[in-house]
Amino acid sequence: MVAVTSNEHEFIFEILRSHKFWAFENKIRVPKDKIIRAYQSNAEFTFWIGWKMPGTQLPWVITAGTYIKKRKRNFWDVCNKKNAIIVELKDSYYNKLIIEVENPKVVMNELDRK
């Protein structure tokens, strides 16, 4: 689970509780102008999500960490895909953040509003 907060210039994606351990990450900071869009889609949830670099994948339990697929680096932290959103980024370390949040609609609106 990820909590999303913001300040004047950036969004802060804070990985919560034990997910920090599974995802090998604490926080991801993204300047507001680097966010293309935020949306929900089942298309990302395929059998092959990429090479773990590092990451954790326990089928039907958790997918967390950095994964590389088609030469693009994505960050995952998802247990319940119904609450997962995809945040597309430009010119950033990660191409996409696929994260589970408490309230997807509110977070997507906040990210798209910038």
For 95, the token pair is 């191409």
User: How much is the pTM?
Assistant: 0.92
Please report, in tens digits, the pLDDT of each residue of the chain (114 residues total): 999 999 999 999 999 999 999 899 999 999 999 999 999 998 888 877 888 889 888 888 999 999 999 999 999 999 999 999 999 999 999 999 999 999 999 999 999 986
Look at residue 70 in the predicted model and tell me its pLDDT.
93
Rg (CA), the chain: 13
